[in-house]
A and B are shown apart, each in its own frame.
Chain A
Amino acid sequence: MSKKLKAAIIGPGNIGTDLLMKAMRSDWIEPVWMVGIEESEGIKRARDFGMKTSVSGVDGLLPHVIEDDVRIAFDATSAYVHAENSRKLNELGVIMIDLTPAAIGPFCIPPVNLKAHAEKLEMNVNMVTCGGQATIPIVAAVSRVQPVSYGEIVATVGSKSVGPGTRMNIDEFTRTTAAGVEQVGGAKKGKAIIVINPAEPPLIMRDTIHCLTEEEPDQEAITQSVLDMVEAVQQYVPGYNLVNGPIFDGNRVTVFMEVEGLGDFLPKYAGNLDIMTAAGLRTAEMFAEEAANNTITLPARA
């Protein structure tokens, strides 16, 4: 029996397609279904890659979940439909990896808390935001050394990489990311800022992370912790680069990052989207690894 877990991707847009291309290379995940709501370029691409496809939403997938042994679903649609998608698939024992801002399940930042979620067999985990994936690991790297009273992140992204969903509800980005900085990053108070830059050629995603430590920062320990964390993220996002820092100014610790994507389907500058798909896939892989090691038992199926 293959150790790979079979997966469905819901949403055949840019994110879903990029995720599909990454998943096809995975040692732990085997994508088998692509779910859309109509015939589209994305559905056609998925079919060309050999996927089974539904053009009638999740309902078109449900009758095949058991026979195809789909264990993981990635939702790359919108917060509005995620809750229903998740409910229907969870009922059939499918673990839901939520790439929308719905945040029904706990936030998941792979190098910080993924293992804990996998061990508990959380049936729905939320991938926060692109800015959160790029910055919360660094906040956590500081807060695991000493208490952080305030964590603030500034994500600057190329205009072309920000879709209409994010634009129509940009407050959701700032709120969700700030909540992640607190809940997963470990800062007592979190703040998130997003800046959209239309320069051509598009700029690669940039992220600045500021932490204010409660006591004088232990420079050596924090520097090492940040370097270790960068390496951990690079395991699944090779283009996660430390540009400058950590620099120390009183109790302020600042780190400047750049995130270049792999350029699978999305262009390389769209590191913000790449880090979401990579983190989502990494999350699914961890569930598969834990299942293979028998540390978790997937929902029973006849």
Chain B
Amino acid sequence: MNLQGKKVTLHDMSLRDGMHAKRHQITLQQMIDVATGLDEAGMPLIEVTHGDGLGGASVNYGFPAHSDEEYLNAVVPKMKQAKISALLLPGIGTVDHLRMAYDCGVSTIRVATHCTEADVSQQHIGLASEMKMDTVGFLMMAHMVPAEKILEQAKLMESYGANCVYCTDSAGYMLPDEVLEKIGLLRAELKPDTEVGFHGHHNLGMGVANSLAAIDAGAARIDGSVAGLGAGAGNTPLEVFVATLYRMGVESGVDLFKIMDVAEDLVVPLMDHPIRLDRDALTLGYAGVYSSFLLFAKRAEAKYGISARDILVELGKRGTVGGQEDMIEDLALTMAKEQGLI
């Protein structure tokens, strides 16, 4: 693979996807410290929101330590060069949240839908684009449908006003060939000035390899997370990825030693558990299950005595999608009844 001379925009997820791994309890000071460290390391884009995006504060997904507005108001003014992005899942967040984020100084909005349901994003993408924000469409669980379907949905988002569309491997299920095919098709068929992005999870240990494949196929933006802090086995660990990009001659503008220090000195110490490929995280990747289900399945295991792995495998069989966290306790209850445990 020859990526010599290519350029890529990295986008850090530790303060949004990482919220899943922290049960949305990152403190304002931790947010400021990590974001400031990333800013100094040259990270161009940093996402800050509840793990499930704007308006994610709920019984279903978890109440955060602070509101989206408090986090954004704490972090945005501290940034010297980095821009702050926010995630929005239609069905959870609304255009009211979008306006709030805009008022807080968020410059990039990423509107996320399941990979077959892009048409629920029209009003949100339309408004963000109207407000001249950097407007990104984010097609989640992209492993569940063929490349042609991803393209069809990406074109919808493009038609609503998205200037960048992501192929998102929410389950960490994809292998590099699939990434090449999907990103390659998007790059070939979307408008030349529409950027293509890739968001990986490390549930099969493929975060770095898949992200390289994405760049090879024409992706201009790559998501990852410093120290991998993210749902499941985490996102593509950015300090590892940056080192790899140095070796391959890809320009990211991020200082390797500085981001290594942010990972080691700031992010690892705030982890509640090591972000690693334990058997449950591996099951996510193997069974194709939404990464943020991990801790919910572990909690259901602790409460009802049903193995998290069994729950996750069954959720994969049922074709569950992002946002269906409520299915986990429901399914655990049903399985516990069937097994005579309750």
Contact = CB atoms under 8 A, between A and B. Distances in A.
A256 B333 contact: yes
B327 A206 contact: yes
A127 B299 CA distance: 37
B27 interface: no
Contacts of B322: 195
A247 B90 CA distance: 28
Interface stretch (A137-145, A170-178, A263-271, A289-297): A170-178
Given A206-B327, A208-B60, A197 B320 contact: yes
Interface stretch (A13-21, A54-62, A152-160): A152-160
B74 to A, nearest CB: 24
Interface in B57-110: 58-60, 90-92, 94-96
B233 to A, nearest CB: 24
B120 A193 contact: no
Contacts of A199: 318-321
Nearest to A211: B59
Q: Please tell me the size bucket of the interface on B.
A: 20 to 34
A243 B120 CA distance: 28
A170 B330 contact: no
Contacts of B58: 152, 191, 193
A2 interface: no
A213 interface: no
Interface residues of A, number: 35
B297 to A, nearest CB: 16
Nearest to A174: B94
B148 interface: no
Interface string B135-172: 00000000000000000000000000000000000000
A61 to B, nearest CB: 32
A45 interface: no
Given A167-B122, A195-B322, A256-B326, 20 more contacts: A152-B58, A154-B60, A156-B324, A156-B326, A167-B120, A169-B123, A171-B94, A173-B91, A174-B91, A196-B120, A196-B321, A198-B116, A198-B319, A200-B319, A208-B330, A210-B59, A212-B59, A243-B330, A244-B330, A245-B333
B91 A195 contact: yes
A130 to B, nearest CB: 13
B329 interface: yes
Contacts of B119: 164, 167-168
